[in-house]
Amino acid sequence: MTDEHIKQAIIGIIADIAPDEDTGSIDPAVRLRDQMDLDSMDFLDIVMELRKRYGVQVPDTDYQHLASLDSCVEYLRDKMAGKQLVS
């Protein structure tokens, strides 16, 4: 999966979890929770969807790596290699 596909996967998950959020204006370098009204349950839902859709396990000690879209891509790049984008 390319970096762009990983971004699309994360944005797709956020759009499903928080459909009222404007995912079109996400700044990839800024913390997601600083840009959007995502609470801790929404964040856990993102982690759960990563596991459900892509089989990616994110231990709670690694949650800080999912703070921004850019950091999500960096953290998930190896974990999502060879996987297909789920829409």
What's the pLDDT score for residue 86?
87
- The domains of the chain are located at 3-76
What's the pLDDT score for residue 14?
95
What CATH number belongs to 3-76?
1.10.1200.10
* Dist. CA 66–CA 10, nearest whole Å: 10
- Return per-residue pLDDT of the chain as tens, 87 residues: 999 999 999 999 999 999 999 999 999 999 999 999 999 999 999 999 999 999 999 999 999 999 999 999 999 999 999 999 887
**How many contiguous H segments (helices) and E segments (strands) does the chain have?**
4, 0
